[in-house]
Amino acid sequence: MSANGVKSLASRRAFLLQLAPKTERRIEGAILDDSHLRGHRLRDGQMRGGLREPRKAPLVIVGGGIAGLCAGWRLLQKGFRDFVILEMEKQAGGNSRWGENEVSAYPWAAHYLPVPNRGSKLVRELCTELGLLYEGEFEERHLCHSPQERLFLHGRWQEGLEPEVGLQKADREQFQRFAGLMQEQAASGQYTVPWEPGAKASALDRMSMDDWLREKGFDSPYLRWYVEYGCRDDYGSLAKDTSAWAGVHYFAAREHEDRGPLTWPEGNGWIVKQLLKKLAPHVVAGAMVTQVAIGARGVRVLTETNDWESKGVIWAAPSYLLRYVMEGAPDTSGIIYSPWITANLTLDRMPRQAGTEFAWDNVIYDSPALGYVVATHQSLRTRIDESVWTWYYPLAAVAPAEGRKQLLARDWAWWREFILNDIGKAHRDIRQCVRRIDLMRFGHAMARPAPGWMFSPARAALAKWGGRMVLANSDLSGLSIFEEAQYRGVGAAERILRVV
Ligand X SMILES: Cc1cc2nc3c(=O)[nH]c(=O)nc-3n(C[C@H](O)[C@H](O)[C@H](O)COP(=O)(O)OP(=O)(O)OC[C@H]3O[C@@H](n4cnc5c(N)ncnc54)[C@H](O)[C@@H]3O)c2cc1C
Query: Is 317 among the residues that bind ligand X (CB under 6 A)?
Result: yes
226/393 with CB nearer ligand X: 393
Q: At what angle do helices 221-235 and 244-252 cross, to 10 degrees?
A: 90
| Shortest Å, Cβ 169 to ligand X | 35
- List the one residue from 59, 61, 84, 110 that touches ligand X (CB under 6 A): 110
Which part of the chain contacts ligand X (CB under 6 A), choosing from 15-23, 203-211, 244-252, 476-484? 476-484
Backbone angles phi, psi at 474, to 5 degrees: -60, -15
| Shortest Å, Cβ 263 to ligand X | 8
Query: HSE-up of 199 (CA within 13 Å, CB side)?
Result: 22
- What are the residues facing 150 on neighbouring strands? 159, 362
Q: Would you give the DSSP letter of residue 138?
A: E
Query: Is 465 among the residues that bind ligand X (CB under 6 A)?
Result: no
191/212 with CB nearer ligand X: 191
Query: Is 289 among the residues that bind ligand X (CB under 6 A)?
Result: yes
Q: How far apart (Å, rounded) are the C-alpha atoms in residues 292 and 311?
A: 12
Query: Is 96 among the residues that bind ligand X (CB under 6 A)?
Result: yes
Q: What SS3 string covers 368-409?
A: CCCCEEEHHHHCCCCCCCCEEEEEEEECCCCCHHHHHHHHHH
DSSP letter string, 238-292: -GGGSBHHHHHHHHHSSPP-SS--EE-TTTTHHHHHHHHHHHGGGEEET--EEEE
Which part of the chain contacts ligand X (CB under 6 A), choosing from 88-96, 123-131, 147-155, 241-249? 88-96
Which part of the chain contacts ligand X (CB under 6 A), choosing from 8-16, 92-100, 118-126, 182-190? 92-100
Do you know the residue count of the chain?
Answer: 500
Backbone angles phi, psi at 71, to 5 degrees: -65, -45
60/430 with CB nearer ligand X: 60
DSSP letter string, 407-473: HHHS-HHHHHHHHHHHHHTT-TTHHHHEEEEEEEEEEEEEEE--TTTTT-HHHHHHHH-BSSEEE--
| Shortest Å, Cβ 409 to ligand X | 20
Query: Is 485 among the residues that bind ligand X (CB under 6 A)?
Result: yes
Query: Is 86 among the residues that bind ligand X (CB under 6 A)?
Result: yes
- Whether 400 and 339 have beta carbons less than 8 Å apart is answered as yes
- List the one residue from 75, 123, 204, 288 that touches ligand X (CB under 6 A): 288
29/72 with CB nearer ligand X: 72
| Shortest Å, Cβ 231 to ligand X | 14
Query: Is 318 among the residues that bind ligand X (CB under 6 A)?
Result: yes
| Shortest Å, Cβ 481 to ligand X | 4
Cβ within 8 Å of residue 277, ≥6 positions away: none
Query: Is 362 among the residues that bind ligand X (CB under 6 A)?
Result: no
Residue 79's region, left for phi above 0, alpha for psi from -120 to 50, else beta, is: left
Which part of the chain contacts ligand X (CB under 6 A), choosing from 2-10, 90-98, 121-129, 139-147? 90-98
Query: Is 109 among the residues that bind ligand X (CB under 6 A)?
Result: yes
Which part of the chain contacts ligand X (CB under 6 A), choosing from 64-72, 170-178, 294-302, 430-438? 64-72
| Shortest Å, Cβ 303 to ligand X | 7
Query: Is 490 among the residues that bind ligand X (CB under 6 A)?
Result: no
Which part of the chain contacts ligand X (CB under 6 A), choosing from 12-20, 119-127, 139-147, 441-449? 441-449
Query: Is 235 among the residues that bind ligand X (CB under 6 A)?
Result: no
Query: Is 442 among the residues that bind ligand X (CB under 6 A)?
Result: yes
DSSP letter string, 185-242: HHHTT---SSSTTT----GGGGSBHHHHHHHTT---HHHHHHHHHHHHHHHSS-GGGS
Q: Which residues bind ligand X (CB under 6 A)?
A: 62-68, 86-89, 94-96, 109-113, 268, 288-289, 316-318, 321, 340, 342, 392, 442, 445-446, 473-474, 480-482, 485
